[in-house]
Structure 1
Amino acid sequence: MKGPVTALAGLGILVLYFIGINEVALLFGGGLAVMIVLNVHRLRNRLMGVSLLPLGGIGLLSQAVQPVTLSSLFLIFLKIGAILYGSGYVLVAFLRADLVVRLGWLTDPQLIDAIAIGQVTPGPLFTSATFIGYLLAGVPGALLATAGIFLPSFVFVALSNPLIPRMRKSLWLGSLLDGVNVSSLSLMAAVTWQLGRATLIDPFSILITVVALGLLVRFKINSTWLIAGGALLGLVRTVV
């Protein structure tokens, strides 16, 4: 948070997400809103009234539940890979919106399992796509989901890498990036709350969460070890 404007934008994005506004609209709409508000004084017209409110009219686009096909699986992950911005954990918000809420292909616990697999396996969190693809459509699904989510990154990095330093020097585009960043944080916070409600279902899971959070904050333990430790405790509990 770089100031009251970005803090207010983050809070607004959080509220709008919970009332059902599309996460893509929130991600980029938040960036545009921060850019305009921080730079509106540079214009000589009546843009002073611009705020986050116009986002409220953008509803969550509903899709009919459809069967899992290889083409639709590839296109969904291609779309997510193309519009995802920020930390890899923003991926969770997009996956939940598409695969859990809109299509019903996964449940919240299944999504949490996929994220855990992505954490403990080598590579970025995006490897969760491989597990999800396999879960939904076997080996072909795993290959297509992986290709779909990674393909846009190679293209965008090659095209945008020379432009990012110039964008940061621009007051307008720098503000846009700040707004998108804070929108990403809000989406991560919102989906963490939603998945937490589906995961923290008994005293044992709550205890593991509290201990893991304490170890992470106090000792900066790598999240991979925390997940592995939690999995081991869960296995021991099941066996005993």
Structure 2
Amino acid sequence: MDNSPPPCSFRFTLTLFLAFLRLGLTAFGGPAMVAYIRDLATKKYQWLSEDSFKQGVAICQVIPGATAMQVAAYVGLRSGGAFGAIAAYVGFGLPAFLLMVSLAILYQNAHDQATVVAIFHGLQLIIIALVANAALNFGKGTIKNWRDGLFGTAVMLFLVLHGDPFVAILASSLVGIVFYRNEATGPKGVLSTDSVQMLSQLRIPLAITACFLAGMVVLFVNNRQLFDLSLVMAKVDLFAFGGGYGSVPIMFNEVVGKRLWLDGKTFLDGMALGQITPGPIVITATYVGYLLSSLPGALFATIGIFTPSLIILTLAVPFFDRIKRNELFQRGMQGILVSFVGLLLSVTITFIMTVQWGVPQASVAILAFIALRMKVDILWVVLAGAIISILLF
């Protein structure tokens, strides 16, 4: 595969932006949107071959960040270079950002009204079912034997006892290197590349990184609150392996547990809003940012939650063939992925402890979980939960 970025024009960049903007308006279902991106990129516009698209999906599944957002950026990068990647990324995420800001404004002004309180009480139960379902789905694809189960359980207990998720993830990568040393995780190889070619391929990620760091310096000098908010969201994004849901336990720990910016109920309400907007669950960062610092907070929290994973994508694309064959990388990634089962289980337990339970609450949560296991679309589960909540609570 040719790894050099293609030539780009303003007209083509605009085409990418508008195509992904239209797709982003209906981007419900999270990772399920990858199939629609494939149709757009390989069939409607024929920007990429089927093989190139499949390789992009493989890359996006092993790096941090929301999978569908990363795949959109990959299509833009492969077809339109750096500006193409940014255009596709922004276009795909913009509808979710604008809708979440609107919902955050409504929430801030109406969250204490009786009907709204009832709706969000029910939606918190739906979120518990969603996270539990995500943990089960993630575990089915990741936990392969009793050792994996023991590893994931240890991570869960560490976090339930108020351990730091960042420590858990870093430790899991190191433990994974030792833990899986006798297991074949994929084809082996070594990391090697021509230094001149490497420098050429680093131009795009270095340019984006320089812009991001320059912006962070400006924030540090002029507005320390926005700097802290952006930095926290960037940290969350850097460690959000396993798709958008991988960010949930980390963001919850930072926003609710460590910094006390929001209480658990308010954070759960934000996650509920994130499920009725198009785009990934990490758009909850926009909601957090708005509640803390109005529109500037929403903007900079969103930039923080999406930029690091975009940089990692632009770094990973040229070197993926070499990196994925490195045995240490494979073992470390396996440790991280198993740890995320524990992360999701721990945040499920934390969310359960946040809610006041009774028979109606348990019934709603169980029915939502059953519906999700039966593959009912998330949007319909959330909307049904809102209607039932008005009647019950």
TM-score by length of 2: 0.51
Q: Which moved more, 1:30-39 or 1:181-190?
A: 30-39
Residue matched to 1:111: 267
| Match status 1:88 vs 2:230 | no
Residue matched to 2:328: 172
Give the one of 146, 149, 157 matched to 1:4. Answer: 146
Q: State whether residues 239 and 247 of structure 2, in contact with CA within 8 Å, keep that contact through their aligned partners in structure 1.
A: no
Structure 2 residue runs of 5 or longer lacking an equivalent are 1-142, 184-223
Report the Cα distance in structure 2 between the residues aligned to 1:147 and 1:165, rounded to whole angstroms.
29
Q: State whether residues 169 and 239 of structure 2, in contact with CA within 8 Å, keep that contact through their aligned partners in structure 1.
A: no
Report the Cα distance in structure 2 between the residues aligned to 1:163 and 1:184, rounded to whole angstroms.
25
After TM superposition, the structure 1 = structure 2 runs for residues 72-83 of structure 1, keeping only pairs within 5 Å, are: 72-83=228-239
Residue matched to 2:169: 27
Offset at residue 84 of structure 1 (A): 2.1
Report the Cα distance in structure 2 between the residues aligned to 1:235 and 1:173, rounded to whole angstroms.
49
| Match status 1:136 vs 2:292 | yes
Q: State whether residues 35 and 176 of structure 1, in contact with CA within 8 Å, keep that contact through their aligned partners in structure 2.
A: yes
Distance 1:26 1:16, change over 3 A: same
Name the Cα RMSD after superposition: 1.9
**1:153-203 Cα distance to aligned partner (Å, 9 max, x none):** 110111013444433333322111111001111101100111122125232
Distance 1:40 1:210, change over 3 A: closer
Give the one of 346, 357, 376 matched to 1:190. Answer: 346
Distance 1:15 1:165, change over 3 A: farther
Which one has the largest radius of gyration?
A: 2
Q: State whether residues 30 and 180 of structure 1, in contact with CA within 8 Å, keep that contact through their aligned partners in structure 2.
A: yes
Residue matched to 1:152: 308
Residue matched to 2:371: 215
| Match status 1:225 vs 2:367 | no
Q: State the SS of the aligned residue for 1:89.
A: helix
Residue matched to 1:38: 180
Offset at residue 227 of structure 1 (A): 1.2
Residue matched to 1:125: 281
Report the Cα distance in structure 1 between the residues aligned to 2:155 and 2:262, rounded to whole angstroms.
25
**1:120-152 Cα distance to aligned partner (Å, 9 max, x none):** 101111111111111111111111110111111
Report the Cα distance in structure 1 between the residues aligned to 2:368 and 2:278, rounded to whole angstroms.
21
Report the Cα distance in structure 2 between the residues aligned to 1:37 and 1:104, rounded to whole angstroms.
35
Q: Which moved more, 1:8-17 or 1:80-89?
A: 80-89
Q: State whether residues 6 and 178 of structure 1, in contact with CA within 8 Å, keep that contact through their aligned partners in structure 2.
A: no
Q: State the SS of the aligned residue for 2:376.
A: coil
Q: State whether residues 87 and 184 of structure 1, in contact with CA within 8 Å, keep that contact through their aligned partners in structure 2.
A: no
Letter in 1 for 2:375: K
Letter in 2 for 1:169: R
Report the Cα distance in structure 2 between the residues aligned to 1:36 and 1:212, rounded to whole angstroms.
39
Letter in 1 for 2:267: L
Report the Cα distance in structure 2 between the residues aligned to 1:237 and 1:18, rounded to whole angstroms.
31
After TM superposition, the structure 1 = structure 2 runs for residues 50-69 of structure 1, keeping only pairs within 5 Å, are: 69=225
Q: State whether residues 13 and 26 of structure 1, in contact with CA within 8 Å, keep that contact through their aligned partners in structure 2.
A: yes
Offset at residue 17 of structure 1 (A): 1.3
Report the Cα distance in structure 2 between the residues aligned to 1:184 and 1:164, rounded to whole angstroms.
22
Report the Cα distance in structure 2 between the residues aligned to 1:135 and 1:236, rounded to whole angstroms.
28
Residue matched to 1:63: none
Q: State whether residues 6 and 34 of structure 1, in contact with CA within 8 Å, keep that contact through their aligned partners in structure 2.
A: no
Give the one of 249, 257, 279 matched to 1:101. Answer: 257
| Match status 1:17 vs 2:159 | yes
Q: How many residues align?
A: 211
Report the Cα distance in structure 1 between the residues aligned to 2:177 and 2:146, rounded to whole angstroms.
13
Report the Cα distance in structure 1 between the residues aligned to 2:172 and 2:296, rounded to whole angstroms.
36
Q: Which moved more, 1:166-175 or 1:16-25?
A: 166-175
TM-score by length of 1: 0.81
**4+ residue segments displaced more than 6 Å:** none
Structure 1 residue runs of 5 or longer lacking an equivalent are 42-67
Q: State whether residues 200 and 206 of structure 1, in contact with CA within 8 Å, keep that contact through their aligned partners in structure 2.
A: no
